[in-house]
Structure 1
Amino acid sequence: MIRRMPEQSLNRMSDAKLTYLGPDKTTQPLVTDPLWRKFWNRTSKSFLIVVCIPMLLATLYYYLVASPIYVSEAKFIVRQTERQTPSSIGLVLQNVGISSSTTNSYVVHEYIKSHAAVQDITKRLDLAKALSPAGSDFLTRYPRPWERSSTDGLHEGFNRFVSVGHDSGTGMSTLKVRAFNPRDAQLIANELLKGGEQVVNRLNTRANQGAIDEAEKNLAEAEAKLAQAQTVLSNFRNQERIIDPARSAGEGSEMVGELMATIAEMKAERAQIAQQAPQSPLLATLDSRIAAYQQQVEAERSKLAGDMTSLAPKMAIYELLSLDREYASRALTSARAALDSARTDGRRQKLYLEEVVPPNLPSDPSLPNRERALLTILATLLLTYGVGWLIVAGIREHQLG
């Protein structure tokens, strides 16, 4: 039978031992439950399961299991050497806050997060070993217990250790590489920046080579057109047996002018003889000569114009052919200048990847941030418990109602 003590006595004798009267009528000490059992009995089982136990496990993990992680940070910018006039699409992108420099930076970002970056780093560094050194915790290293060890798995695991972002205000990109060893973090960051620079160089080469190829194609077409125009003009000259119809027309016109002058002189001489000696036999001779010269004038004029065999239609064809040849010659000159300009631009690099802040060698681990992580977990667990309690309370109230 347990002997109960008055409540006032318990308050006055807080440090006294509780006793009870045993079967042999002797006083025996009362055995009380441990503190953890009292806490278990007085606390809601759901609160212990949802909040206390997960929080205890998280605390044990962060303080006993989690490995220190070092972060190497670098800042870079992708810039252009000269200001270019944006296209219509470029203007639209600028209106929504996307500039050409931002686009070029995103190209490097995509490379950093790609399989190509993992392959390039693997050629110079044992990436799998760097992401899973001896002694690293199983929830952070690669591969984690539920991940597969493969090329795709390495890529997914690598992306957990690398982050890159862009600041549209400054135009700078920030690269952060996390690793279990500070030297590995710096080496991986350096390799990523080298690979990004190679991507930018390939963009330059592709753009420059495309412009040169297009200029060479235009030059070849201009040369072919000029050769064709020259051939057509040569065939015309050979067919018509004339070098320059314009020059021949000028010579013919000059000859007609000389003949007309001679006829005028002979007519003046005849008029003078007819006035002085109307019966002179020289008049018939002069008339014959004047008629012959006039026939010659008509013949020369018919060569210049009058039908399809004259020089007039030939001059029209010749002028068109000469114009085609001149146009082809100017096009060839312009194509050669464009090729020279493309080759000159090709020697200049239009895009540069500049390291504003090179990757640092961290001296102290940056992760895990135990206090922040535990507070976040606690807040999440409490929120989860509160939401669950409200849902259960609502269901019970509905059932009772």
Structure 2
Amino acid sequence: MTDPNLTYLGPIPKALTYDKKPRPWWKRVPLAFVIVVVVPTVLTVVYYLLIASPRYVSETMFIVRAANASQPSSLGFALEGVGLGTTQSDAFAVHKYVNSRDAFQDVSRQFDIAKVLAPAGSDAFSRFPRPWEKRTNEGYFKGFQRFVDIGYDSSTGITTLRVEAFTPREARGMTEALLVGSESLINRMNERAAADAIKEATDARDRARQRLSEAQQQLTGFRNREQFIDPETTATESTRLIGGLLSTVAQLKAERAQVMSEAPSSPQLPIINSRIAAYEGQIARERAKIAGDTGSLAPKLSAYEDLSLNREFADRELTAATAALTNAEAEARRQKLYLDRIVAPSLPDEASEPRRLVSILTVLISTLLAYGLGWFIWAGAREHRQD
């Protein structure tokens, strides 16, 4: 027996139907999307468009160079990073100063840092201290670093210094203070380098001058003691005198030989012999003065030559030390460092920070990427569980 099939061809009663109304669009948005994307973006928009305080940026550009230095190549900049020193280490010394506590103290002497970093009306996330920061010296130093940025272009050797502040004049004033402090640092480096090199050369010259003075005093004392100026001149004069006496003796001997050949019993022979004996005695005495005993001229001449040689060496040493000092001074001038301003600290007339649109787009894109990545991970995990 089969069940009967009933076919109804009329309209369907309303009681048998259910009209489902579409859900509003805001209810169709996933809660995760609202939490991950919408809420952070809205908060960012509210902060940057309604709350964030404008900040002004003063910029300056300068170069640190030596008088004979050429600008570095990109390879030279790379070698600097691995410890192979170049002349650009002087520029990096300035960079370290700008980010140091010395620079912070130099600026603090000219500005009230507490008011500069937290003026009236500034928002809690731009000023110092922020809600999670403390009012300590270390905190102020780190807060100050947040407002200062310094960069280096390896292709040109130009350093760019940017300082933020809540007013244009404070931005330019702090930039000028950091620039003046950097120039003072370069001057101190020049003074130390020149002082070290020149001091060593000056000390060597003074020692050489002292040795020359002592040698001259010893030579003067010898002359006063021995009562003659130059033993060499005295010896020369004695030698000439002996030479003249020998010449006279030779003439007298020749005359005696002639007289003896002509008149052996001539009464002139005793006279000639007496003169020859007198001259020969004088020659012996003169030779004894030059050499022969401790009172002769030879030992004195030896001592004089030693003293004279010492003075000559001292004089040469002084000449060399003076030339070295002159070279050291010239080298110090040649290697002197200069901080040349290329662009003076600017006085901004428009706030360039914060970059509101860029910041909002950055948050939006970042949250979208995070949400998309999370959605793909969740979808993959759900499909894995269904399998």
- Does the alignment reach a TM-score above 0.5? yes
Change (3 A) 1:3 1:195: farther
Could you tell me how far 1:323 is from its partner in structure 2?
Answer: 2.5
The 5 A counterparts of 1:217-366 are 217-238=203-224, 240-305=226-291, 310-333=296-319, 335=321, 350-366=336-352
Q: How far off is 1:288 after superposition?
A: 4.1
Superposed displacement of residue 194, structure 1: 2.0
Which residue, 363, 366, 379 being the options, matches 1:380? 366
Q: CA deviation at 1:261?
A: 1.0
1:134 paired residue number: 120
Residue 79 (structure 2) aligned to one of 76, 79, 96: 96
Deviation of 1:223 (Å): 2.2
Matched, 1:53 2:39: yes
Q: 1:374 to 1:5 in 2, by over 3 A?
A: farther
In 1, Cα distance between the equivalents of 2:17 and 2:199? 105
The residue that corresponds to 1:206 in the other structure is: 192
Letter in 2 for 1:96: L
Structure 1 length as normaliser, TM-score? 0.76
The answer to whether 1:77 aligns with 2:60 is no
Q: Deviations over 1:147-196 (max 9, x none)?
A: 12122211111111111112232222111111222222122112222222
Secondary structure of 1:169 counterpart = coil
Q: Does 1:192 align with 2:178?
A: yes
Offset of residue 331 of structure 1: 3.8
- What is the CA–CA distance in structure 2 between the aligned matches of 1:333 and 1:173, rounded to whole Å? 44
Q: Cα distance 1:308–1:181, how it changes in 2: closer, same or farther (>3 A)?
A: same
Q: Give distance in 1, aligned partners of 2:353 and 2:24.
A: 38
Assess if the C-alpha contact under 8 Å between 2:68 and 2:335 holds in 1: no
Q: Shift of residue 347 of structure 1?
A: 9.5
The aligned residue for residue 162 of structure 1 is: 148
Q: CA deviation at 1:49?
A: 3.9
- Aligned mates of 1:291, 1:95 — CA distance in 2: 95
3-state secondary structure, aligned to 2:133: coil
For 2:101 and 2:69, the matched residues in 1 are separated by 32
CA distance, structure 2, for counterparts of residue 33 and residue 138 of structure 1: 41
Q: Secondary structure at the match of 2:124?
A: coil
For 1:321 and 1:383, locate their aligned partners in 2 and report how far apart those are by CA, in whole Å. 93
| Distance in 1 of aligned mates of 2:366 and 2:245 | 116
Shift of 1:271: 0.6
Question: Following the alignment from structure 2 to structure 1, what is the Cα–Cα distance between the partners of residues 235 and 347?
Answer: 88
Q: 1:38 to 1:343 in 2, by over 3 A?
A: closer
Give the C-alpha shift of residue 317 in structure 1: 3.5
Structure 1 unpaired stretches of 5+:
11-17, 19-31, 86-91
Give the alignment partner of residue 151 of structure 1, picking from 137, 151, 159. 137
Q: Tell me which amino acid in the other structure corresponds to 2:162.
A: K
Change (3 A) 1:269 1:142: same
Q: How far did 1:298 drift?
A: 3.5
Mark the CA change 1:313 to 1:49 in structure 2 (over 3 Å): closer, same or farther.
farther
Percent identity, aligned pairs only?
46
User: CA 1:398–1:323 in structure 2 vs 1: closer, same or farther (change >3 Å)?
Assistant: farther
Mapped to 1, the partners of 2:228 and 2:125 lie a distance apart of 93
- Which of 155, 162, 165 lines up with 1:179 in the alignment? 165
User: Pick from 343, 355, 360: which aligns with 1:369?
Assistant: 355
Deviations 1:66-90 (A, max 9, x none): 222221111122344x3279xxxxx
- More off after superposition, 135-144 vs 336-345: 336-345
User: What secondary structure does 1:189 align onto?
Assistant: helix
**1:165 partner letter:** G
Measured in 2, the distance between the counterparts of 1:287 and 1:267 equals 8
- Distance (Å, rounded) in 1 between the aligned partners of 2:120 and 2:354: 18
CA RMSD for the aligned pairs? 3.7
The worse-fitting range, judged by mean Cα deviation, of 238-247 and 162-171 is: 238-247
